C-alpha cells in the first residue's frame, strides 16, 4: 500500500508539472469551471428554498457544463497519446459512463438505505441508526463499484475496442494496481467533500462569497484529478 501511495503522488506531481508547463491551456478551463461554480451558487441564492424545482433544474444544467469542460481536457490528452478523435464522441462517452457510474452507486446505496428502513419498520424495537448498522454489509457492493468501476469514464474515452465492456475493462485495469486505484479514488472524493461543506453555511451572502473564493482551488483540483487519473489509466494499460 505504501508503494501505491508513493506511486499515486508521483503521478499527481507529474500532473502538476504538466499543469504548470501548459498553464495557458489549462487557465481557460479553470476560469470556465470557476465561473460555472459561481453561477450555480448565485442561482442557489436567487431561487428561494420554496422554488425547489427551479433549484434542481439549475443544478442539473450546471452539472452538465463541467462535464463538457473536463471532457475537453480528456480530448486533448487523447490526441496527444492516441491521435485524432471526435470531440463529440469523447464528450458523449465521458458523460454517459460518468452517469452510469453514478447511477449504479446511487441504486446500490438506495437499496441499502431502503432495506434498513424496512428492517426498522418491521421490527419497531430496532431504531433506524441500528438498522443502518445491522445492514452495513449491503455497503460492500457500493464500495466494490466505487473502486472497480471508477476508471470506466476514462476507459470509455481512451479505449477504441470496447467489445469486452467498459465496466469489465475498468475492473480488469483496477486489479492490476488496486492500492493505486483506491488511493486515487479516496483523494478524488476528499476534495469535493471538503468544498461541499460550504452548503452548511446559513448566511446566503457569506455562503456565496465563500463559494466564490473556493471556486478557483476547486477548479484547479478538478483539472489535476483528471490529469492524474488519466496518467494512472495510461500506466495501468502498460503493465501486465
156-201 confidence digits (pLDDT tens): 999 888 888 999 999 999 999 999 999 999 998 877 777 677 667 7
192 contact partners, CB below 8 Å, separation of at least 6 = 218
pLDDT band at 239 (very low <50, low <70, confident <90, very high): confident
Instruction: Give the per-residue pLDDT at 214.
Output: 81
pLDDT score of 37: 78
Query: What b/e string do you get for 135-146 counting C-beta neighbours within 10 Å, with b at 16 or more?
Result: beebeebbeebb
Residue reference for cell 443502518:
132
Q: How big, in percent rounded to 5, are the helix, strand and coil portions of the chain?
A: 85, 0, 15
What is the grid cell recorded at 233? 489509466
Identify the pLDDT of residue 132. Answer: 93
DSSP 8-state code for residue 198: G
Question: 35 or 191: whose pLDDT is higher?
Answer: 35
More confident residue, 74 or 56: 74
CB contact at 8 A, 224 and 16: yes
Element (H, E) at 142: helix 139-148
d(CA 214, CA 201): 14
At residue 46 the predicted structure's pLDDT band, cuts being 50, 70 and 90, is: low
CA atoms 224, 226, 231, 236: torsion sign:
positive
Report which of residues 132 and 36 the model is more confident about.
132
Q: pLDDT above 70 covers what percent of the chain?
A: 89
Mean pLDDT computed over every residue of the chain: 87
SS3 160: coil
Q: What is the mean pLDDT of residues 188-217?
A: 76
Q: Is the pLDDT assigned to residue 55 strictly greater than 70? A: no
| Average of per-residue pLDDT across 103-120 | 94
- Rounded to 5°, the CA angle 115-118-121 comes to 155
Burial class of residue 29 (count of CB atoms within 10 Å of its CB; 0-12, 13-18, 19+)? buried
Amino acid at each position: 500500500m505504501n508503494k501505491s501511495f508513493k506511486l499515486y503522488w508521483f503521478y499527481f506531481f507529474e500532473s502538476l508539472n504538466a499543469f504548470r508547463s501548459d498553464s495557458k491551456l489549462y487557465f481557460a478551463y479553470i476560469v470556465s469551471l470557476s465561473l460555472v461554480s459561481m453561477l450555480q451558487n448565485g442561482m442557489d441564492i436567487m431561487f428561494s428554498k420554496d422554488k425547489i424545482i427551479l433549484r434542481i433544474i439549475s443544478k442539473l444544467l450546471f452539472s452538465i457544463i463541467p462535464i463538457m469542460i473536463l471532457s475537453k481536457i480528456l480530448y486533448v490528452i487523447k490526441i496527444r497519446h492516441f491521435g485524432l478523435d471526435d470531440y463529440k464522441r469523447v464528450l458523449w462517452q465521458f458523460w454517459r459512463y460518468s452517469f452510469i457510474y453514478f447511477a449504479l452507486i446511487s441504486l446500490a446505496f438506495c437499496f441499502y438505505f431502503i432495506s434498513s428502513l424496512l428492517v426498522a419498520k418491521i421490527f419497531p424495537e430496532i431504531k433506524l441508526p441500528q438498522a443502518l448498522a445491522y445492514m452495513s454489509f449491503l455497503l460492500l457492493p457500493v464500495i466494490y463499484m466505487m473502486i472497480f468501476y471508477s476508471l470506466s469514464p476514462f476507459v470509455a474515452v481512451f479505449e477504441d475496442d470496447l467489445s469486452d465492456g467498459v465496466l469489465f475493462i475498468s475492473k480488469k485495469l483496477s486489479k492490476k494496481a488496486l492500492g493505486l486505484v483506491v488511493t486515487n479514488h479516496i483523494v478524488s472524493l476528499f476534495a469535493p467533500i471538503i468544498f461541499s461543506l460550504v452548503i452548511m453555511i446559513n448566511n446566503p451572502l457569506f455562503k456565496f462569497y465563500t463559494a466564490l473564493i473556493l471556486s478557483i482551488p476547486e477548479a484547479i483540483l478538478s483539472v489535476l484529478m483528471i490529469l492524474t487519473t488519466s496518467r494512472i489509466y495510461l500506466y495501468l494499460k502498460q503493465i501486465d
